[in-house]
Amino acid sequence: MATSYLFFSGKGGVGKTSMACTHAVRLAEQGKKTLIVTTDPASNLADVFEQSIGHQITAIQGIANLWAMEIDPDKATQEYIDRAMAPLRAAFPPQIVQVMEEQMSGPCTAEVAAFDRFTDFLEAPEKDALVFDVVIFDTAPTGHTIRLLELPAEWSQSIDAASAGSGQTCLGPAAAIQDAKHKYERALAAMRESDQTSFIFVLHPEAISIKETRRAISELSKLGIHNYRLIVNGVIPPEGTQNALFAARAEMQSHYLEQIKKDLPYSKQFMTLLSGEIKGIHRLSQVAKIFFDGNPAEKTFQAEAIEPQVMPVITPLEDVRSRLQPNGHQRTVFFAGKGGVGKTVASCITAVWLARQGYKTLLLTTDPAAHLGDVLDSPVGDEIAPVAGQPNLWAVKIDPKAAAETYKTRILEDARRRGRPESAIAVMEEELNSPCTEEMAAFDKFIEYASLEEWQAVIFDTAPTGHTLRLLELPVDWSKQLDVKIFASVDATAADDVAKQRFSKVIEMMRDPAQSTFAFVMYPEATPILEAWRAAKELSTVGIRPGLVVANQVIPAQQANTPFTHARRAMQEKYLSDIVDRFGLPLVQIPLLPQEIKGLTMLAELAEQIYQNDFAVENTIGQ
């Protein structure tokens, strides 16, 4: 019998990993040999299964028939480069081989390599290899995943163009990766096979989550993939609605549940919001009974018993303000963290507060799934423009596709103006048509905005963590590529030289805590905290240290007045203490509200509460 494939997708933070792991546990309990693989550069599988996994197929302890693997982008990249370069090491002098290898150190190689490793699981297994009945892919946040799925088509174009031209692509020598082209075509064919493959979108009953799901389905449909299912997660249960705050949120959810029924006509399943975290085989098995068998959550799920915190977590307000306000020169604040934890909300609240303090403020996003306009309730375009209704505030979104076209045109026009021969321009055009260009161009645009001196404050609503870290590592990779171009006698443009100078200036700015603050946003839950902690450690390897932590959707203390809300608040209190102990940084708390955070009035009220009032003041907005 052929292996079945389940792809879990959706906006970050909606519970993809929990739902993917729940499916994996249930299938294993049914006796099916099951493998769960993640392509997310910031994976949480090990956290959910409470054991180390890593870059190899690993048996999950405490249950038969279940294995897992976390694709490590660095290891996958090295394996991929070694495989692509092996035939050439014997054929070319070491100097030339080194140039080719360095040209493969570009920013998209890790993405391609992860996809390459991922497609291995869509191929027929080698003789004697373990054959799985089901392979589950716990994928990265939607915008990132879609780019992964688009790569085979883009790659094919890049390989074809390079084969007709210089024979070299930024992904490696064309001749060495022709086999890969066929492999990706087979992988995409398997994804299109509805009898064998399902795409399961996990979403919350919220506006942005619905919009993201619609967008992702539209993108997948263009690739000829049509077999979709939905899991609507985080539905507030009846026992939750005994509390005023959660009753109001349940009312809000009911409208979105109707919208999902009307706008997304696919097979649907629903998962209730639980009173505690989903971690470990025992609890995953309980969740499977709730999800698949319809068992009541209140009687089935056993939340972890938590000792109440003796002291509330309060940060002196001055410590927070000093990391956000300009202090004689421009202040740049980067909001980072796991997808879906509220970076956009945190960046909008902060930008509105700074603008209302009289600082000329620019708010921008490098997230491919830009939600700034949704939260501001005001359109945000590809050019810097004032935000209507809020003096001192301007906003812009970087569209990677539009940035790539502008960047390509600029580089080629510069080369022609300098009288470069058409043969050299053709080589440059080949490189610029590769899948790397979007990421390079988005970063180039980011540098352009970061270099502007007219703003007193610049707030970046960044992309999910793994993606953001690759953006920050880009200058180093790009500089390497520029040096290689020169060494290989491919003309480097003046624009590249200027870019290199700007890069070093901006990176120095990022490393200076007097000019820049990296603020990590998270829910007060284990997985987002661990993810932020890992990302902060990775940032420190490029000399950047976080300056602030933000806990989002904190249940106000006075709302912990039912068993359900008390259990969730106790869990949050434990993790708020953990955040302060682990990071040792000022903590900002954004309260859970009865409705979604949207519009300038609400943002201004929240900004006042969070940054102006005493931190001990509890939430009163919308109540």
**Span 462-482, pLDDT tens digits:** 754 544 555 555 554 544 444
Percent of the chain with pLDDT over 90: 37
Provide the token pair at 109: 């190689």
CA distance 554 to 580: 15
Q: Is the dihedral of CA 318, 319, 323, 324 positive or negative?
A: negative
pLDDT, greater one: 186 or 516: 516
CA distance 567 to 58: 33
Provide the token pair at 620: 């009163």
Percent of the chain with pLDDT over 70: 77
Terminal CA-to-CA distance of the chain, rounded, Å?
Answer: 56
Section 392-408 average pLDDT: 86
Cβ atoms of 287 and 273 closer than 8 Å: no
CA dihedral 472, 37, 532, 604 (to 10 degrees): 90
Measured from the Cβ of residue 538, the count of other Cβ atoms closer than 10 Å reads 17
Which tens digit of pLDDT belongs to each residue from 130-151? Answer: 789 999 998 754 444 445 555 5
Section 185-197 average pLDDT: 82
Q: Residue 47: in which H helix or E strand, if any? A: helix 45-49
Classify burial at 256, counting beta carbons within 10 Å of its beta carbon; exposed 0-12, middle 13-18, buried 19 or more: buried
Provide the token pair at 364: 């921008």
Q: Could you tell me which residues are beta bridge partners of residue 112?
A: none
Query: To 5 degrees, how large is the angle CA 434–CA 437–CA 438?
Result: 120
Provide the token pair at 148: 């992964």
pLDDT at 308: 67
Taking all residues of the chain, what is their mean pLDDT, rounded to a whole number? 80
Distance of CA 409 to the CA centre of its chain: 29
pLDDT at 492: 46
Classify burial at 545, counting beta carbons within 10 Å of its beta carbon; exposed 0-12, middle 13-18, buried 19 or more: middle
Q: pLDDT band for 616, please (50, 70, 90 cuts).
A: very low
Contacts of 584 (CB under 8 A, 6+ apart): none
pLDDT, greater one: 546 or 535: 546
pLDDT, greater one: 272 or 408: 272
Q: Is the dihedral of CA 235, 238, 241, 247 positive or negative?
A: positive
Its pTM stands at 0.80
HSE (side-chain half, CA atoms, 13 Å) at 462: 24
Q: With 70 as the cut, is the pLDDT of residue 86 above it?
A: yes
pLDDT at 421: 80
| Nearest in space to 226 (alpha carbons), one of 260, 199, 259 | 199
Q: With 60 as the cut, is the pLDDT of residue 385 above it?
A: yes
Section 209-214 average pLDDT: 87
Q: pLDDT band for 546, please (50, 70, 90 cuts).
A: very high
Domains of the chain with CATH codes: 4-300 (3.40.50.300), 317-612 (3.40.50.300)
At 42, is the secondary structure helix, strand, or coil?
coil
CA distance 400 to 366: 8
Contacts of 603 (CB under 8 A, 6+ apart): 348, 349, 352, 375, 376, 597
Phi-psi region of 375 (alpha: psi -120 to 50; beta: other; left: phi over 0): alpha
Query: Residue-wise over 267-304: b if at least 16 C-beta within 10 A, else e?
Result: eeeebbbbbbbbbbbebbbbbbbbbeeeeebbebbebe
* Catalytic annotation, residues: 13, 15-18, 40, 527
Which tens digit of pLDDT belongs to each residue from 222-238? Answer: 878 888 999 999 999 99
Which tens digit of pLDDT belongs to each residue from 427-450? Answer: 677 667 665 677 667 777 877 887
Give me the phi and psi of 379, to 5 degrees please.
Answer: -65, 140
Q: With 60 as the cut, is the pLDDT of residue 596 above it?
A: yes
CA distance 351 to 357: 10
| Nearest in space to 392 (alpha carbons), one of 454, 450, 321 | 454
**CA distance readout (Å), 176 to 87, 171, 263:** 7, 10, 45
Contacts of 614 (CB under 8 A, 6+ apart): 317
Residue carrying structure tokens 């370069």: 85
Amino acid at residue number 56: Q
Q: Could you tell me which residues are beta bridge partners of residue 59?
A: 67
pLDDT, greater one: 95 or 162: 95
CA distance 377 to 394: 14
Q: With 80 as the cut, is the pLDDT of residue 457 above it?
A: yes
pLDDT at 221: 84
Weakest mean pLDDT among 473-487, 503-517, 538-552, 577-591: 473-487
Distance of CA 198 to the CA centre of its chain: 22
CA distance 204 to 212: 10
pLDDT, greater one: 187 or 172: 187
Q: With 70 as the cut, is the pLDDT of residue 66 above it?
A: yes
HSE (side-chain half, CA atoms, 13 Å) at 591: 29
Weakest mean pLDDT among 86-95, 425-434, 449-458, 564-573: 425-434
Cβ atoms of 65 and 283 closer than 8 Å: no
pLDDT at 368: 61
Contacts of 223 (CB under 8 A, 6+ apart): 149, 150, 153, 188, 191, 192
pLDDT at 181: 67
The count of residues in the chain is 623
- DSSP-derived secondary structure letter, 615: T
What angle separates helix 73-89 from helix 94-103, to the nearest 10 degrees? 150
Contacts of 579 (CB under 8 A, 6+ apart): 313, 522, 524, 529, 549, 551, 587
Q: With 50 as the cut, is the pLDDT of residue 618 above it?
A: no
Provide the token pair at 20: 């993917």
CA distance 495 to 411: 7
Measured from the Cβ of residue 13, the count of other Cβ atoms closer than 10 Å reads 26
CA dihedral 297, 198, 341, 48 (to 10 degrees): 60
pLDDT at 614: 52
pLDDT at 489: 37
Q: With 50 as the cut, is the pLDDT of residue 621 above it?
A: no
Q: Residue 164: in which H helix or E strand, if any? A: helix 142-164
Q: With 70 as the cut, is the pLDDT of residue 526 above it?
A: yes
Provide the token pair at 307: 């000792």
Q: pLDDT band for 544, please (50, 70, 90 cuts).
A: confident
Which tens digit of pLDDT belongs to each residue from 20-43? Answer: 999 999 999 999 999 999 877 667
Cβ atoms of 464 and 141 closer than 8 Å: yes
CA distance 500 to 237: 54
Section 420-426 average pLDDT: 76
